[in-house]
Structure 1
Amino acid sequence: MHDDAKPLLAGRRCLRTRHISSTCTACVDICPEEALVLKEKRLLFAASRCTGCGACTSVCPEDALIAPAFTSKALEDALRREAPQGRIVFAAPNAGATGKKILLPSLLHLSVDWILLAVALGAKEIGLLYAPGSVDEEKLSVITNRIEIVRKICAELHLPLELETLRGAPKVDAGRRRFFSRLGAALEPREASSPQTQEARSRIAKTLLEEPFVRVPDSRLRLIHALKRLLEKSGKADSREAAKLFSAPRIDAAKCSGCALCPAVSPTGALQSQGEGGTLRLLLNAGACTGCRLCADICFMNAVTLYEAASLEEIFPTPAKTLFSRKNDPRAFDTWEDKLSGLINAPVYRT
């Protein structure tokens, strides 16, 4: 397969790279070709197995997998062009689609934030057309689950939406084609990326080196933007059932040692710490929380858990609210370096 369709792994964004305690397996679990594997708790990408379906790019909570040949800008431009007309059909390759459609590498590329953005931009009917025997049919439960999430949100906000999956009638046997594509990828040397994709990869690599280490992923910003527009359309101030689809951390005061490790490793800055007048405060900006679970994974006291947010407004970027507050605990240290140093009985230096 041509390298153009294959994603780029942005290692410094990956939760597995950021902390060895991370339990994230989102991309590994969804990859239909086992092109993404974990070895010694590190994520490895077997490019020769990748078919470029884009499934991994839609589930990564930190946007660590990027598709250079199918950019977010291209999809957003297509949505802004087609959504105001009221109906959009997203089609996978070889689905036998006719008429106007937005072609995707796979329907698995379409995450909840993209579907919500389509609705926010004016789409009232959305069709998802897949090919029999394709990866989309194998992972149809993933697609229908995303549909249900969008449907619940729109129902809570009293916004009309018809959303359905459609089984296409391809001119080729998609299952047979996929088998031979896999076989060819295994037997033939990989083709080089096109000059356009090589340029895109270089641009992405440069951006990754320059971007802040702590950042809110584009997919999260897109979700927040779409939800704000939908709330403005509905005029409904609160939606508790729809909000249960989103997570935020909770801290058990009885277990927390006050080490402040969780805000130190937060990849989006959703958790922050403040120490004033002998009091430790942990703050939460729920709008920046992607539910990556890293705060819970690294907590050696098992004091952090994820729960369902109480309202849609809670996940919007607002002044951070106090999640936890108390006088400094004698077990706590001023910084996470001090805490780690005490745990391993050796000096720790930030590099």
Structure 2
Amino acid sequence: MPNLNDIVEIAESLESKAVFAAEERCVVVRNRNAKCRKCVEACQADALEVGNNRLTYHARACVSCGACTVVCPTEALIPMRPLDEDLATATAQACVLADGMAVFSCARAAARRKADPDRFAEVPCLARMEESVLMKLASCGVSRLVLVDGTCKTCKYRACDPGIDATVASVNGLLEAEGITLRVERLSEFPEELLVEETTGLFGVSRRGFFTQAKDVAKDAAEKAAVTALKKELQQKAPSLRDRLKMSDKGSLPQFNAMRRMHVLDAMDSIGRPIVPEIETRLWGNVGIDTEKCTSCFMCTTFCPTGALKKSEVEAEDGKTRFIEFSTADCVQCRMCEDICLKSCITVSDVVLTEELFDFEPRMIELPEPPKKAGIISNLKRR
């Protein structure tokens, strides 16, 4: 049986990164003129660098708060501790024991051991919380949505405090638009129903239990080591970033779905369509194009990461008019189109029309006929 030092060493070597960086999703990697720096602004540990077609994540500097994974519009930064799926499972189990109340706690508040750990879900920092998890719970009919912090003013994660407030405001804005009374509550103490007086047996393990657990950890570690070696081998054979960003036959870079936003839409649809004509939100955007300035270069459709802007295949009767298709539900407000437009004719608003958000049909934007390029003979005549 390995000693405890061996176990710790193995566990540390196999410890996964807190964040996985899917570089091909980052708008700056796709086009160096993109101005998005939301992840860098949210990170308090200088663990992220963005610029010159590169997204660099420094795992050793990361403090696992998860703030960057929430603000990234294209979901290029994926939280690993915990994964969205694991957080959802833990929440579902805790909800049942808490009589339908959904409670999330930061690690600092949980460490006080004042509440039953089986009746709430723990995250390293509440900055890890985002709209899809909370809206899904709202659609399931939970009685309360509670976030418990550990007094952020004195916490090492305190720079994340405004971000947590922004998430609470975002979710509550969506719930208000839905016309229901449920709201996210942010507290510094656990709800009374979760408090416990006797903590013996709820936290930690006995000495005998610890060594039994340590043996299992060692066995697990050996299995994980084999899996890690296999993953490294596969990664060596994986296509490069350049290959992953090759242009498609339709003249655009590879596109993807923003899954979290899709989950929010599904949750909202389950609750019922919003009762307001428009919604102010950070999740989706409304694109407008000044057709008097536009030259129909279609650069916006080439670089749009989610396909919210697409070159339409619809042919006009006059054979000259061109169209761009815009889908509000696919727009993640990354503002890539705004940043790269050579004529500055595109604007992105954070106010979206409810009807368009839930419409399966895209909005057609009519573009002007592109300017004719002067030929060699024309240039000679001018001389």
| TM-score, length-scaled by structure 2 | 0.70
CA gap of 1:40–1:94, structure 2 versus 1, over 3 A, is same
- Of 237, 256, 260, the match for 2:298: 260
Name the CA distance, whole Å, in 1 between partners of 2:334 and 2:372.
27
Residue 324 of structure 2: aligned partner: 282
3-state SS of paired residue (1:98): coil
SS of aligned partner of 1:16: helix
Alignment RMSD (CA, Å): 3.4
User: Aligned partners of 2:32 and 2:123: how far apart in 1?
Assistant: 34
Task: Give 1:317 shift.
Answer: 5.6
CA distance in 2, matches of 1:106, 1:13: 25
Q: Where does residue 138 of structure 2 map in the other structure?
A: 119
Alpha carbons of structure 1 residues 52 and 115: separation in structure 2 relative to 1, 3 Å = same
| Equivalent residue, structure 2, for 1:10 | 22
Secondary structure at the counterpart of residue 127 of structure 1: strand
Mapping of 1:295-310 within 5 angstroms?
A: 295-310=337-352
Q: Tell whether 2:173 aligns with 1:152.
A: yes
1:214 aligned residue (255, 258, 283): 255
> Is 1:87 aligned to 2:124, yes or no?
no
Q: Secondary structure at the match of 2:107?
A: coil
Judging changes above 3 Å, is the alpha-carbon distance between structure 1 residues 201 and 24 closer, same or farther for their aligned structure 2 residues? farther
Distance 1:223 1:49, change over 3 A: same
Q: Which runs of 5+ in 2 are unaligned?
A: 1-11, 191-223, 246-252, 375-383
Written as runs of structure 1 = structure 2, the 5 A alignment for 1:122-271 is 122-132=141-151, 133-167=154-188, 195=225, 198=228, 213-231=254-272, 238-240=275-277, 242-243=279-280, 246-271=284-309
| Other-structure match for 1:102 | 121
Q: 1:81 to 1:15 in 2, by over 3 A?
A: same
**Rounded Cα–Cα distance in structure 2 between residues aligned with 1:114 and 1:288:** 19
Match of 2:360 among 300, 318, 323: 318
Q: Distance in 2 between matches of 1:226 and 1:147?
A: 16
* Residue matched to 1:342: none
| Comparing 84-93 and 132-141, the one that deviates more | 132-141
- 1:210–1:148: structure 2 CA closer, same or farther, 3 Å change rule? same
Measured against aligned partners, the alpha-carbon deviations of 1:244-287 in whole angstroms (never above 9, x if no partner) come to: 55422110111111101101111111101126322110110111
1:152-201 Cα offsets, whole Å, 9 max, x none, are: 222232212142222259xxxxxxxxxxxxxxxxxxxxxxxx64994897
Aligned residue for 1:63, secondary structure, equals coil
State how far apart, in whole Å, the 2-side matches of 1:91 and 1:204 are.
37
CA contact (8 A) 1:68 1:201 kept: no
CA distance in 2, matches of 1:330, 1:43: 36
Q: Do the aligned partners of residues 46 and 13 (structure 1) sit closer, same or farther apart at CA in structure 2, a change above 3 Å counting?
A: same
How far residue 138 of structure 1 moved from its aligned partner, in angstroms, is 3.0
Partner of 2:381: none
Are 2:102 and 2:146, in contact at CA under 8 Å, matched by a contact in 1?
yes
**Alpha-carbon distance, 1:4 to partner:** 2.4
Asked if the contact 2:295/2:369 (under 8 Å) is kept, the reply is no
Alpha-carbon distance in structure 1 between the residues aligned to 2:333 and 2:370:
27
* Residues 1:73 and 2:85 aligned together: yes
Q: 1:24 to 1:201 in 2, by over 3 A?
A: farther
SS in 1 for 2:323: strand
Match of 2:7 in 1: none
Shift of 1:6: 1.9
CA separation of 1:38/1:210 partners in 2, compared to 1, >3 Å: closer, same or farther? closer
1:133-167 Cα offsets, whole Å, 9 max, x none, are: 32443322211122122222222322121422222
Q: Secondary structure at the match of 1:47?
A: coil
Q: Secondary structure at the match of 1:242?
A: strand
User: Which of 43, 48, 62 does residue 74 from structure 2 map onto?
Assistant: 62
Pair member with larger Rg: 2
| Cα 1:210/1:331, change in 2 over 3 Å | closer
2 CA distance for matches of 1:332 and 1:88?
62
Question: Secondary structure of 1:149's match?
Answer: helix
Which secondary structure does the structure 2 equivalent of 1:139 belong to?
helix
Distance 1:197 1:57, change over 3 A: farther
Amino acid at match of 1:166: L
Given candidates 4, 23, 32, the residue that maps to 2:35 is 23
